[in-house]
Amino acid sequence: MAKLERLDLLDPYEVAQLGGLELIAEGVVEGFLSGLHRSPFHGFSVEFAEHRPYQPGDEPRYVDWKMLARTDRLTVKQFEQETNLRSMLVLDASSSMHWSGSDRRLSKLEYAKRLAAALSLITLRQRDATGFIGFDDEVRAVVPARAKLQHWWTVVSAISKLKPGKGTAAEPALRRVTDLLRRRGLVVFISDLLIDMDLTLLSLQFLRHRGHQVVVFHVMDPGEVTLEGPPEARFEDPETGGGVIARPRELRAAYAETVQRTIAEWRLACRRGGIAYHHVLTDTPFGHVLRRATARRSRLG
């Protein structure tokens, strides 16, 4: 059983075989947090806001011991960022996200679901109000942000029910965020980014201009990074149905160059817009992705 204590460091496909979405997300988060010396989401703002009653699970370092001595009431200090932050996860469930290059790897969508479930659990444990939007060519699921830890079951239920759709229309989903996050917050966008780059960036930058922190997880299967296959193969677009017959060996170098250029373009465009960008392969342990993301968020604060 000791091996299972750090599910966040194991191969994602192997982890997924151990149980359902909720169980895996909880195990990944427990393993991830156990490897940290402190919570990754505290410390963005040192501006004290107010006291609130102590709740089981609060860290002892935030207990106001002087207040306890004066009033005989157990309270914790709450900081400005903690009281204001609201999070919204936006997940792409288009047809292209259903793809996997190996039967020993999760599809991009199944990987993204587990990542989203883990991220939502972390933010809710920090008492950040958290919500969820799932989309393909339409918005398919909307869960308004709530701060209670029990709300996680509503969020993860919506994530688990999300099925692969058809095309991709990120703009309507990102527009919904502006209706759901009235105050400054955190927007996490998870997609394989096989979408209109200019329109999507415009939507993401609009959210930044409204004061939100924006994080993009660019999810790819390792098989999309390097072109492999038989001497001759038919390559088909899962969203349009269009296809072409080609010889992978002849296209491999040009394909790899195109992929790396596209990744670099997304990374640079996000950086210029003040958007955190993370390129994620579906064979990467969830804990490695969470660590990079939370480290980046700490710097943004």
Domain end residue (candidates: 81, 104, 134): 81
Q: Which residue has the tokens 């903690």?
A: 82
Which residues does 127 contact at the CB level (< 8 Å), separation at least 6?
82, 147
Write out the residue range of the structural domain in which residue 74 sits. 48-81
In a domain, 42, yes or no: no
Does one domain contain both 133 and 249?
Answer: yes
Does one domain contain both 113 and 243?
Answer: yes
Does one domain contain both 74 and 209?
Answer: no
Does one domain contain both 7 and 139?
Answer: yes
For residue 166, the tally of other CB atoms under 10 A from its CB is 15
Does one domain contain both 52 and 163?
Answer: no
Cα–Cα distance measured from residue 279 to residue 25, given in angstroms and rounded to the nearest whole number: 20
Does one domain contain both 120 and 56?
Answer: no
In a domain, 62, yes or no: yes
Cα–Cα distance measured from residue 52 to residue 65, given in angstroms and rounded to the nearest whole number: 13
* 235, 223 contact by CB (below 8 A): no
Report pTM.
0.81
Does one domain contain both 169 and 59?
Answer: no
pLDDT at 160: 97
Does one domain contain both 265 and 125?
Answer: yes
Longest dimension (CA), the chain: 78
Does one domain contain both 194 and 180?
Answer: yes
* 173, 163 contact by CB (below 8 A): no
Structural domains counted in the chain: 2
pLDDT at 222: 95
Q: Which of 161, 83, 81 has the alpha carbon at shortest distance from 116?
A: 161
pLDDT at 124: 92
Cα–Cα distance measured from residue 7 to residue 123, given in angstroms and rounded to the nearest whole number: 19
The residues with which 190 forms a beta bridge, in sequence order, are 91, 217
Which residues does 194 contact at the CB level (< 8 Å), separation at least 6?
94, 96, 168, 239
Does one domain contain both 152 and 11?
Answer: yes
**Which residue stretches of the chain have pLDDT < 50?**
1-4, 37-48, 80-84, 298-301
In a domain, 239, yes or no: yes
In a domain, 179, yes or no: yes
pLDDT at 80: 44
pLDDT at 2: 41
pLDDT tens-place string over residues 200-241 = 999 999 999 999 999 999 999 999 998 776 666 666 666 666
Does one domain contain both 57 and 181?
Answer: no
Tokens encoding 273: 């817009």
Which residues does 299 contact at the CB level (< 8 Å), separation at least 6?
none
In a domain, 129, yes or no: yes
Residue 90's domain is classified under what CATH number? 3.40.50.410
In a domain, 63, yes or no: yes
Tokens encoding 290: 């969470």
SS3 per residue for the chain: CHHHHHHHHCCHHHHHCCCCHHHHHHHHHHHHHHCCCCCCCCCCCCCEEEEEECCCCCCHHHECHHHHHHHCCCEEEEEHHHHHCEEEEEEECCHHHHCCCCCCCCCHHHHHHHHHHHHHHHHHHCCCEEEEEEECCCEEEEEEEECCCCHHHHHHHHHHHCCCCCCCCHHHHHHHHHHHCCCCCEEEEEECCCCCHHHHHHHHHHHHHCCCEEEEEEEECHHHHCCCCCCCEEEECCCCCCEEEECHHHHHHHHHHHHHHHHHHHHHHHHHCCCEEEEEECCCCHHHHHHHHHHHHHHHC
Domain end residue (candidates: 81, 100, 134): 81
In a domain, 19, yes or no: yes
Domain end residue (candidates: 27, 60, 81): 81
Does one domain contain both 94 and 59?
Answer: no
In a domain, 43, yes or no: no
The residues with which 279 forms a beta bridge, in sequence order, are 218
The residues with which 243 forms a beta bridge, in sequence order, are 236
